[in-house]
Amino acid sequence: MRERVRPKSPPSTPRPTPHPQQAEVRVFNLSFAATPIAVRDALRAAVARFIRLMTEEEAGTLELILAEILNNIVEHGYGDSGKGTISLSIARDGKGLTCSVSDDGAALPPACLDLEDRDPERPDPTSLPEGGFGWFLIRDLATDLGYHREQGRNLLAFRMPLDPIEIRRAG
């Protein structure tokens, strides 16, 4: 037998489902240095923690949102100094993921979070832009994006809705 299977489980499910009573890890907390390599390791660890609780496509989306946010902090928040720390928290609930990221770098320009009427500023593909995509990707893929700065500390939070695995299994 490969793994424990509940007797009432359907014979096949479209994705691995966690055992409901089992203490499946649903929270992730990590602090790491503000460098591109440390960001890579943090992304790998975060995705590994939640991979069993989401589809492959959802995992790819989570990794992309986080990569854009974290690399932005490394590059602009800390100005590529390699100094500074980033803290990442992710929690899985019944409807998806809540992620929060904090750092002590420069304040986020308000325009980054402005959800309304930003489409005209999207990089125009025909101009062959080499940057400026990051915040559009974040705003396209994340929901409930919020930002707060207090005592020199940035706190950015967002949600990412996921297919409800509990409901799917019950149905």
Q: In the numeric block, which tokens belong to residue 49?
A: 């923690």
Identify the residue among 37, 48, 107, 167 touching another protein (CB under 8 A). 37
**Binding of residue 58 to another protein (CB under 8 A):** no
Is 120 a residue that touches another protein (CB under 8 A)?
no
By CB under 8 A, tell whether 10 contacts another protein.
Answer: no
CA–CA separation, 146 and 99 (whole Å): 11
Q: Is 122 helix (H, G, I), strand (E, B) or coil?
A: coil
Nearest to another protein of 26, 71 (CB atom): 71
Residue 162 binding another protein, by CB under 8 A: no
Contacting residue, 109, 129, 146, 152, with another protein by CB under 8 A = 129
- Cα Rg for the chain, rounded, in angstroms? 18
Query: What values do phi and psi take at 27, rounded to 5?
Result: -130, 145
**36-50 vs 56-72: helix crossing angle, rounded to 10:** 150
When asked if residue 63 is in the footprint of another protein (CB under 8 A), the reply is yes
Question: Should residue 116 be labelled a site residue for another protein when binding is judged by CB under 8 A?
Answer: no
Size of the site for another protein (CB under 8 A): 29
Cβ proximity to another protein: between 126 and 151 the closer is: 126
Beta carbons of 48 and 83 less than 8 angstroms apart: no
Cα(87)–Cα(75) distance, rounded to whole angstroms?
Answer: 16
111 binds another protein (CB under 8 A): no
Asked if 64 is part of the footprint of another protein (rule: CB under 8 A), the reply reads yes
- Residues of span 68-97 touching another protein by CB under 8 A: 68, 71, 74-75
Note whether 128 binds another protein by CB under 8 A. yes
155 within 8 A of 147, measured Cβ to Cβ:
yes
The pair of three-digit structure tokens given for residue 65, joined into one six-digit string: 């949102």
